[in-house]
Chains A and B, each alone.
Chain A
Amino acid sequence: NAGVTQTPKFRILKIGQSMTLQCAQDMNHNYMYWYRQDPGMGLKLIYYSVGAGITDKGEVPNGYNVSRSTTEDFPLRLELAAPSQTSVYFCASTIGETQYFGPGTRLLVL
């Protein structure tokens, strides 16, 4: 049981490039989330999913897209990367009330 995993750990993107941040969990959790954490700041919800095939926007969805084709995977897509998307991205999953976070992906857009 690996919990919540994320890849890559770190990535540098040029402005305008695209990439997909991967998130997977092996705990059969229905609820999954993507947060971003800017330096020295709190957690902002980007997108979330309540189950396979169902996704919804959080408070900061602009510039991102998600999909949830399986219970295990919840990738986050960045199209046309901008410097404002420089951040640490955390994926999380929940069963019941407890939310578990992945180790994070540090993204630098230059």
Chain B
Amino acid sequence: QITLKESGPTLVKPTQTLTLTCTFSGFSLSTSGVGVGWIRQPPGKALEWLALIYWDDDKRYSPSLKSRLTITKDTSKNQVVLTMTNMDPVDTATYYCAHSRIRFLDRAKVSRSFDPWGQGTLVTVSS
């Protein structure tokens, strides 16, 4: 059974850097075809894909947030860490991590789906 759980601060101040950790079990992020993604959801709004890290340490980011995001993995700890710099009140959201199955398409790694998801963690940006 695959499970994931997000952890990190519930409140950050504007301009600070947010660091979130996704701790998972039931799979290894060193197994070919596996990835972990981060997705966020502002209160009452839609889902937004942020970043994805693959088993081979390759990484992809949302083009609109790429300059502010860094995703890393610690395979030995079964953890994925997302950092987001220069936080703003508009970044207030529930942040989810999710397991992803990866396939190759024209030599590019693509996510087939996010399943399952963690429970999410609400991060509020306020002074």
A and B from one complex: no
